[in-house]
Amino acid sequence: MFLFKNLQLYRLPAPWAFTPEQMELALQAQAFSPAGSSEVERQGWDKPRPNGGLVHVVNKQMLIVLGKEKKLLPATVVNQVAKARAAEMEEAQGFAPGKKAMKDLKERVHDELLPRAFAIRSDTRCWIDPVNGWLVVDAASPTKADEVIKMLLKAIDRMPVESLRVQNSPVGMMTSWLQEDDAPAGFTVDMDTELRATGESKAAVRYVRHTLPADEVGRHIAAGKQCTRLAMTWDSKISFVLTETLAIKTVKALDVIKENEAATRNDDERFDGDFMLMTGELAKMLADITEALGGFAAA
């Protein structure tokens, strides 16, 4: 039901006065189009909804999508074809092609096969909350999120986006919540966690869908391990995993939210309803997580 599964978090000034119309105009110069016959990869902004614009807006919340197309041409295939061509050349001219000739041959084979290569399409969604000052990329890795941010910075001159910074260390706070068996107000600690040593050994222990025995966890912490991942539930509505880098992973709406979903008549209404519900609840959850970590760090 939730459109986003992983949250890479960034901050914007709140409120941010950039309008959806301004955003639409800014993104048009980098609108997505399929990779050409001689291109390995191409990315650009695509429509979040069929027959819509590049910016989808619901209740002042903006949704944009970075589309990417990448052609698959394994080096083993290129090498295999080049090897066969080299054998033909050797038979025709009486000697094998040299190192430079072989390199040129592989490049020619690559260029020849590229137009027929299979293309893989992927989309990365980005939610912009100009009211509360959030920019959230649905990506499991920071590298994937960086692609979106770099494209946005190209599209919008001097876009005031920053990484989320908080007063207290996520690792320190998660370790404290485990050690004291005391989750912050509005949250509960669930059954997944990772504890990792800070020394050279990098020793780690992970509990997966496992009750966290206080004495056992306490021994690991006493031995110098700190919590780097912690599964939690917010307000009995959303479960997630908080990481040491402030990424929020495995976001899942719980039954209490699903039961309150309104019946809708068509796909567009259902999509907008899901997006409005998700952004409304996540904005409140992100505010509570920030508060639990001591609030925003001073600039």
Q: Is 157 exposed, middle or buried (0-12, 13-18, 19+ CB in 10 A)?
A: exposed
Per-residue pLDDT of 122-170, as tens digits, reads 999 999 999 999 999 999 999 999 999 999 999 998 899 999 999 999 9
Cα 128 from Cα 64, distance rounded (Å): 8
pLDDT value at position 223?
77
Cα 278 from Cα 251, distance rounded (Å): 11
Per-residue pLDDT of 208-258, as tens digits, reads 877 776 777 778 777 778 899 999 999 999 999 999 999 999 999 997 666
Measured between alpha carbons, how far apart are the two ends of the chain, in Å? 36
Give the strands of the sheet with 225-234, arranged side by side: 204-207, 187-197, 225-234, 238-243, 248-253
pLDDT value at position 75?
84
Maximal CA-CA distance, the chain: 80
Q: Is 259 exposed, middle or buried (0-12, 13-18, 19+ CB in 10 A)?
A: exposed
Average confidence (pLDDT) over 62-75: 90
pLDDT at 260 exceeding the cut of 70: no
Place of tokens 């069929």: 50
Three-state DSSP class for residue 131? coil
